């Protein structure tokens, strides 16, 4: 048997080195916050007459966002950024950050949203063609020029009594935030912190989050919007609101929302002729699937839809999937299939493509998961105001990581599609030696690190981005 301790036998550790920095990968994130206009814009809207803080509140908020993007889970984690003063300059302490977040949590949310929207518009203008990537489905299909907004909720468990924490519908205790992600780019357009007992299908909350999200889409790109949601979004109020959005001069809004398989839908399924079922297509390859079919049942439900005043433009589709061997049947199953339904107002795609497009909503689960890994998995304070400001910082952190992939990593293959955890391990946590000379500071990255050259390219690419003009 080998000697598994040999590698560490001659290691000695001291704490006396100078000129070494860690978290060097945070440099491009902070540069993105500055060059997008976020830092300056937030500084302006968070300023208070007669109050001149030691640490500008716009800088504090973007530094918290950078810290969260780098994997920080609590306010005290900002001390890791503060310890790199030779790279970042003065950074607020954790106590100052706590005080600042308390101020921000009750300060001008609409103004902060406008700053975020302006920064997004500037960043999108630097993308190829001046627009974000297409949102694809069915093996690479897309609706050209459509910005896709996906809305979903998540539970954040609290292990202590925090403001507005409550029992959740899953029997846990905590909060129930609601977010809306831009599928094309991976950005988090809006995030609403809610009580733990807030409903999954509360129409007023869904509408508020979507209104904020649409406001985050740069105006030239609101001409074609698609909103997707699971069955929690099926309410008259939300569908009516989405339908009415098409009366706005600057936008058209399509939707694809889960629908309850109630008694009327079950009756329509039983009445659907065999030749009306069309094989579904695989979302990864676009190939026809043998275990899943889709059919439109709008005509079979017309009397019910008219009686209950659903919009005339709403279409109802049902999907059936053959039960796998040993799979437990759902509450409603028929002839070896389980069923689900969705509604849409789109008229330009086939039933197959509409179904594939709706199933692509499942990608929002990746957005929820990575956002919980980017600050949302733990709310750091008892205070509702502090936690609300923390959620604002989360939206900025998710956006900064998205811009890092879209702009900084554009030509770097897998890094342009990397999840936050991968970026942290490969790029964000890289250390460097600080060399001073000729009135400059040079960060010398480890020669042996496989992604050092990529980080150099990322920083140089972001440095060349034009600085956003003050609004």
Among 101-105, 323-327, 420-424, which range has the highest average pLDDT? 420-424
Q: What is the pLDDT of residue 333?
A: 62
Annotated domain spans of the chain: 19-112+380-463, 135-370
Per-residue pLDDT of 394-407, as tens digits, reads 999 999 999 999 99
DSSP per-residue letters across 192-221 = E--BTT--TT-HHHHHHHHHHHHHHS-GGG
pLDDT: is 169 or 390 the higher one?
A: 390
Instruction: Give the mean model confidence (pLDDT) for residues 433-444.
Output: 90
Long-range contacts of 419-422 (CB under 8 A, 24+ apart): 419/366, 419/370, 420/69, 420/71, 420/370, 420/373, 420/374, 421/370, 421/373
Instruction: Give the mean model confidence (pLDDT) for residues 90-118.
Output: 93
Does residue 233 contact residue 242 with C-beta atoms inside 8 Å?
A: no
Instruction: Give the mean model confidence (pLDDT) for residues 353-363.
Output: 96
330: confidence class by pLDDT, cuts 50, 70, 90: low
Q: What is the pLDDT of residue 45?
A: 94
Instruction: Answer whether residue 358 shows pLDDT above 90.
Output: yes
Instruction: Answer whether residue 195 shows pLDDT above 80.
Output: yes
Q: Which residue has the tokens 């609004």?
A: 471
Burial bucket for residue 256 (CB in 10 Å: 0-12, 13-18, 19+) = buried
Q: What is the dihedral of CA 270, 271, 276, 281, to 10 degrees?
A: -30
Query: What six digits make up the tokens of 9?
Result: 């036998």
Q: What is the pLDDT of residue 255?
A: 97
Q: What is the pLDDT of residue 432?
A: 94
Report CA torsion sign: 413, 459, 136, 342.
Answer: positive
CA distance 425 to 179: 26
For the entire predicted model, the pTM comes to 0.94
Q: What is the pLDDT of residue 244?
A: 94
End-to-end CA distance of the chain: 68
Query: What six digits make up the tokens of 229?
Result: 């949601």
Contacts of 97 (CB under 8 A, 6+ apart): 60, 63, 64, 75, 78
Contacts of 350 (CB under 8 A, 6+ apart): 278
Which residue from 459, 462, 434, 431 is spatially nearest to 446, judged by alpha carbons? 431
Per-residue pLDDT of 413-424, as tens digits, reads 999 999 999 999
Compute CA 407 distance to the chain's CA centroid, rounded to the nearest angstrom: 17
3-state secondary structure at position 244 = helix
DSSP per-residue letters across 269-296 = HHHS-GGG-EEEE-TTT-PEEEEEEEEE
Fold annotation for 135-370: Transposase Inhibitor Protein From Tn5; Chain A, domain 1 (3.90.350)
Query: What six digits make up the tokens of 190?
Result: 């809006």
Q: What is the pLDDT of residue 52?
A: 82
Identify any residues that bridge with 295 across adjacent strands, giving them in sequence order: 318
Which residue from 283, 411, 418 is spatially nearest to 355, judged by alpha carbons? 283
Instruction: Answer whether residue 126 shows pLDDT above 70.
Output: yes
Contacts of 111 (CB under 8 A, 6+ apart): 45
Backbone angles phi, psi at 82, to 5 degrees: -65, -30
């Amino acid at each position: 048997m080998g000697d598994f301790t040999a590698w560490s036998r001659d290691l000695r550790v001291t704490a006396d080195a100078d000129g070494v920095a860690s978290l060097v990968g945070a440099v491009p994130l902070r540069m993105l916050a500055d060059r997008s206009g976020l830092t300056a814009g937030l500084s302006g809207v968070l300023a208070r007459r007669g109050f001149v803080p030691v640490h500008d509140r716009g800088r504090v908020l973007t530094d918290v966002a950078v810290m969260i993007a780098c994997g920080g889970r609590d306010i005290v984690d900002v001390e890791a950024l503060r310890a790199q003063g030779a790279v970042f300059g003065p950074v607020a302490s954790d106590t100052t950050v706590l005080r600042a977040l308390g101020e921000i949590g009750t300060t001008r949310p609409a103004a902060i949203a406008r700053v975020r929207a302006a920064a997004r518009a500037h960043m999108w203008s630097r993308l190829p063609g001046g627009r974000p990537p297409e949102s694809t489905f069915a093996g690479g299909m897309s609706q050209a020029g459509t910005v896709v907004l996906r809305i979903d909720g998540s539970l954040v468990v609290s292990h202590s009594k925090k403001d507005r924490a409550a029992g959740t519908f899953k029997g846990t205790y905590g909060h129930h935030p609601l977010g809306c992600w831009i599928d094309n780019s991976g950005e988090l357009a809006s995030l609403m912190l809610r009580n733990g007992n807030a409903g999954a299908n509360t129409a007023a909350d869904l509408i508020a989050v979507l209104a904020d999200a649409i406001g985050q889409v740069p105006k030239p790109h609101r001409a074609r919007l698609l909103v997707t949601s699971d069955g929690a979004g099926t309410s008259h109020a939300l569908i009516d609101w989405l339908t009415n959005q098409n009366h706005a001069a600057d936008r058209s809004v399509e939707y694809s929302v889960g629908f309850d398989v109630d008694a009327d839908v079950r009756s329509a399924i039983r009445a659907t002729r065999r030749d009306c079922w069309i094989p579904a297509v695989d979302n990864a390859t676009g190939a026809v699937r043998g275990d899943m079919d889709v059919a439109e049942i709008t005509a079979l439900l017309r009397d019910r839809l008219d009686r209950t005043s659903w919009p005339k433009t709403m279409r109802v589709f049902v999907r059936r999937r053959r039960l796998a061997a040993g799979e437990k049947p759902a509450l409603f199953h028929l002839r070896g299939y389980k069923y689900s339904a969705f509604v849409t107002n789109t008229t330009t795609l086939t039933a197959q493509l509409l179904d594939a497009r709706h199933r692509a909503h499942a990608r929002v689960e990746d957005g929820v998961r990575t956002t919980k890994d980017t600050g949302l998995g733990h709310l750091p304070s008892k205070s509702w105001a502090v936690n609300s400001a923390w959620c604002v910082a989360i939206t900025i952190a998710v956006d900064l990581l998205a811009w890092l992939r879209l702009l900084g990593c554009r030509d770097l293959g897998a890094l342009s599609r990397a999840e936050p955890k991968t970026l942290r391990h490969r790029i964000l946590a890289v250390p460097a030696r600080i060399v001073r000379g000729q009135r400059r500071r040079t960060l010398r990255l480890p020669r042996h690190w496989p992604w050092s050259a990529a980080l150099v390219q990322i920083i140089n690419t972001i440095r060349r981005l034009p600085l956003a003009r003050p609004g």
